[in-house]
Amino acid sequence: MAKKTINNDALIANIIKGIEEVKGNDVDILDLREIDTAVCDYFIICNGTSNTQVNAIVSSVQKTVSKELKDKPWHVEGTDNAEWVLMDYVNVVVHVFQKHIREYYNIESLWGDAKITSIENKY
């Protein structure tokens, strides 16, 4: 059976909702569709204040997307130490960092050609 196609906009909206439910910080959406070497269409990057919050963000995103869209990530890695968790939804990849790790790797600068949309914190 073929995997059903999930609308990117709906997926992104539900990922953001999951992040906001547990107060994830500094949410950026990187639109990679114009970049030939990109492995997906979008990165969503956010950070938490501790490994507990990083894992809570990951759990919240998974629950929200599963409930609303009946979809789950193709792959998740990094939950053991929860400094940088990657959630691969194929067209959309979510990076959940602890703040100091995010600053160190600075993914936004590595993908400098991407169109970046920052989501304001609602709290």
Q: What are the tens digits of pLDDT across the range 52-92?
A: 999 999 999 999 999 999 999 999 999 999 999 999 999 99
Q: Which helix (H) or strand (E) holds 8?
A: helix 8-21
- Residue carrying the six token digits 């691969």: 88
Calculate what percentage of the chain has a pLDDT beyond 90: 91
Predicted TM-score of the model (pTM): 0.93
Strands 75-77 vs 115-119: parallel, antiparallel or unpaired = unpaired
Dihedral over Cα of 49, 57, 6, 4: its sign? positive
From CA 110, how far away is CA 90, in angstroms rounded? 20
pLDDT at 8: 94
